[in-house]
Amino acid sequence: MRHLWIGLAFFVIGAAGCGASASRDASPNTPDLPDAASETGPADPGQDESADSGEDADGSDLEGPNEEHDGWVSTPDAHEDEPWLFDDTALDAPDDPCPEASCDPVSDIPSATDTTAETAATPDPTPVAATTVVDAPGNTGTGFADANRAVNGVRGAGLHAGSMDVFSLGYQEGVNNYLVLSWGGAMVRNGPGVDFVVFENGFEVGSGSGTFFMDLMVVLLSRDGITWVAFPHDYLADDETVYVANPELWSGFAGRFPVKYNVDTNPVDPFDHDAAGGDPFDLDRMPLDGGEAQAIREGGFRYIKLVAAPTVVNPDTGAPFVRDPMSNGADIDGVIGRYVEE
């Protein structure tokens, strides 16, 4: 959630602003998974409620969320001593966060046409966006705390601007620091090349500068919504206690690259990184550990969990991953899967 910072950046670099989308796709309901209106949560600290009218993108009033807590996927217990930290090492994660050189910055972005998938999927590779909000503790149903904005279509604003049609995370563990999405019960399989893309709303600070404003996230995958495996990720800076705004140093994280894809104005191939932007992920990077990570690599996943990186412990330092001083939480525009099977 960087709305004031985006405004400042626009003034400095002369970038064009971006508005909220004019239309919103309805999310299909599934009988076993709740939608975003099934849960309430406090707004992100510092959120500018006046930045949004509280209306849906089609102009209709948003229905207030109820206060029931049934049906939501359980989350890991908070640390007793530091309850705001989320330690993904406590999950079913590989010992080596970057197996098979998957965190090499040169090879970090998978090719959209790579045919080396160990278990190639056979479904029609038609892009399918995640349609269901499974768990969003920071959801209030209004403004940037409306979790439905993460499933209503990706509406990127280009290289030098961030979309305003987003759901914002915060840094309070269990309160607003994560979002869980699904494809309504469908499975995202491992096929040739990129298997899914996460769209946040980073942007380049100054044309051609190579410096990006990023709100980074750790990506976790699950087949059942209970057992989670972190996608291999690593901060590759020489000094990992110092933040460096270089996407290549944040291997395996989401939130690194600007979003050019826009379902309304720039509906390009979302798996063409140069044309669409976003953060591509290839399930072939999941480790062959003989356990859950390998099962996801070979069989796919149903649920994706996006966790604010500054609330995750960096195993190399024993402290949370560092962040941009201006960052106050990732802004999620959507996730698109490539090989999706019911």
| Distance from chain centroid for Cα 49 | 22
CA angle, residues 229, 103, 166, in degrees to nearest 5:
65
pLDDT in the model for residue 206: 87
Domains of the chain and CATH, by start: 1-13+82-342 (2.60.120.260)
Structure tokens, 307 = 């966790």
How many other C-beta atoms can be found within 10 angstroms of the C-beta atom of residue 32? 8
- Please tell me whether residue 305 adopts helix, strand or coil conformation: strand
Determine which helix (DSSP H) or strand (DSSP E) holds 319, and give its type and residue range: strand 319-320
Determine which helix (DSSP H) or strand (DSSP E) holds 298, and give its type and residue range: helix 292-299
Mean pLDDT of 174-189: 97
Q: What is the pLDDT of residues 224-281, one digit of tens each?
A: 999 999 999 999 999 999 999 999 999 999 999 999 999 999 999 999 999 999 999 9
| Range list of β-strands (E), 38-152 | 128-129, 132-135
Strand partners, 55: 61
pLDDT in the model for residue 114: 54
**Nearest-angstrom CA–CA distance, 269 and 317:** 38
Q: What is the pLDDT of residues 67-110, one digit of tens each?
A: 333 333 333 333 333 333 333 333 444 445 554 444 544 346 66
Q: What is the pLDDT of residues 1-53, one digit of tens each?
A: 555 444 444 433 343 333 333 333 333 333 333 333 333 333 333 334 333 43
Give this prediction's pTM.
0.71
